[in-house]
Amino acid sequence: MSRIAAAVAVLIAAGALGGCSVERGPIAEPTPTELEAITRQVNDLQWQNLQFSPDSPRPTVEFSRFIQPDETDEVYTACMEDAGYVGWEQANFNSLGGPPAAERLDLYVCVSRFPVHPAYYGIHTAAQLDAIYDFYRDSLVPCLRGAGLDITGVPTRDEFVKSEFPFAWNPYAQNFDIPDKVLSGVYAQCPDFSYVIGLPVE
């Protein structure tokens, strides 16, 4: 399962469960500088996923809008067809299987013009990380401790906010060695709602 698909699965599960929750109070909108930085991080990931080296010449792409994961098939197929790839389908594209560099480059233009929202990759602004930290400290960590999990090494707010993708601390991270059945039960009691922080409010 891809990182995006996993995040979406968590969102779906979290919406149907009780337990700790996250209050979606006002969070500062990204500044132009922050927006540029997090968008660049998403583009860097896509450049890497499409098997281009970091120092390869990269086209400058005009950003259009962020999209949701369930839009990717429709949006990228339309974009690639506009670029001349009639009948192109995302499901048939395999960046590791040998598509020519020209096709991968054209796909990069499409995914850069219409990137999946950075929050689905765990890429957040400082204000969003601040809100996630509040949720972890005030809701998730107490819930997990109440469920019997040993949560240690909780970072300070400053350490957490300064942590960089993909190394931001998560209270569940040190408990992946517990049996899946037990972990699933704990997650049902203490779901991680941090994934919704930073996503557009509908």
More confident residue, 194 or 96: 194
What is the count of structural domains for the chain?
A: 2
Residues 6+ apart with CB under 8 A from 165: 41, 121, 122, 123, 124
State the pLDDT at residue 200.
64
Q: Are residues 135 and 56 in the same domain?
A: no
Q: Answer for the pair 152, 174: CB distance below 8 angstroms, yes or no.
A: yes
pLDDT digit string, tens, across residues 107-138: 999 999 999 988 888 888 888 888 999 999 99
Euclidean distance between CA atoms 109 and 121, whole angstroms:
19
**pTM (global) more than 0.75:** no
- Residue ending a domain, choose from 63, 88, 120: 120
Residue 157 lies in a domain: yes
Reply yes or no on whether the pLDDT at 98 is more than 80.
Answer: no
Reply yes or no on whether the pLDDT at 35 is more than 50.
Answer: yes
Reply yes or no on whether the pLDDT at 77 is more than 90.
Answer: yes
pLDDT digit string, tens, across residues 15-29: 333 445 555 567 778
Residue 201 lies in a domain: no
Q: Are residues 13 and 40 in the same domain?
A: no
Q: Are residues 191 and 138 in the same domain?
A: yes
